[in-house]
Amino acid sequence: MNIKAPNANLIVFVCVFLLAVSLAAPSADALVLGTDITTYDGSSSSSTGWYGKQEDQEVEPGCAGNQVWDLEGFFLKGSELQAVGGFDFKNGVANYPTYTTGDIFIDTDGSTNSITQASNGQTYVDNNFGYEYVIDLSFDDYSYEVLKLNPDSTTVTVYYSQNQNTNPWKYSSGGTEITGGTFAYYASLNDADVDGLQGDLHYAITGFDLDFISGMAFTSHLTLGCGNDNLMGSGTAPVPEPATIILMSTGLLGIAGVGRKKLKKFHMANG
């Protein structure tokens, strides 16, 4: 039988086709938001508008009312916490290099507190503001650490003393690391990408796993280095579904079964 060598042109075509497919593939999964769990932050000077009681198209009273400073929503997708803003979480706003994204603070006992700042400044304070946990973000490698805070933990306040109700801004030191992971950063999102939030240009950070507080009601908090906008959320972290546990157990049993069969064969071959 005469077997023909593969057509060189066909090989080139297939290679180019595969390259084109790989280049066309999205670099990250498309953003899918969960349930909006955003709550009123308790600070407003009017019922609507930039100083209103909503969170989208809103900042704190007296602050810069602009999409680039707007934090817009916390979302919960299963046990994954997500945040959306007109503010660029990674790059901030041009000419304001110190007003960066804060860390995500989590309260689980229903009690937070504030302090009185005498003057402006991003001040280090021995105060966890009543938050039990912090998700400490690193945009260098999109990683995060979760720490259990204690009363001796140090945090950093927002710059403007008038915005002290938006504290804390960032985690500094103290507490105990309990888990960590990686998160995703999304840029150039339009209104339709973020469930109709307004402002035409949005950013998102997703992938924060709340399994460390599974089954617990929580309040989440995030702000910027200036305290321009305070973002608050409220929800309950789900407990892992029994079905997941059963599947995991079945998988483990399956692996154990294969192991036993292989072992049996080994004994038979050498018996």
Q: Is 220 in the site for Ca ion (CB under 5 A)?
A: no
Q: How far is the CB of 38 from Ca ion (least distance, A)?
A: 9
* HEC string for 219-252: EEEEEECCCCCEEEEEEECCCCCHHHHHHHHHHH
Residue 112 Cα distances to 58, 129, 166, 176, 252, angstroms: 22, 6, 11, 19, 43
Q: Is 70 in the site for Ca ion (CB under 5 A)?
A: yes
Paired tokens of 179: 């888990």
Q: How far is the CB of 250 from Ca ion (least distance, A)?
A: 45
Q: What are the DSSP calls for 4-64, one per residue?
A: PPPPHHHHHHHHHHHHHHHHHS-SSPPP---EE-EE--S--SSSSSTTSSSSTT---TTS-
Beta strands 124-125 and 154-156 are antiparallel
| Nearer CB in complex with Ca ion: 157/230 | 230
Q: Is 41 in the site for Ca ion (CB under 5 A)?
A: yes
Q: How far is the CB of 60 from Ca ion (least distance, A)?
A: 6
The stretch among 40-48, 175-183, 217-225, 235-243 that binds Ca ion (CB under 5 A) is: 40-48
Map residues 182-201 to x or -, x wherever contact with Ca ion holds by CB under 5 A.
----------------xx--
Q: Which of 58, 80, 88, 103 binds Ca ion (CB under 5 A)?
A: 58
The stretch among 68-76, 113-121, 137-145, 154-162 that binds Ca ion (CB under 5 A) is: 68-76
Given the rule CB under 5 A, which residues bind Ca ion?
41, 55-58, 70-72, 86, 198-199, 229-230
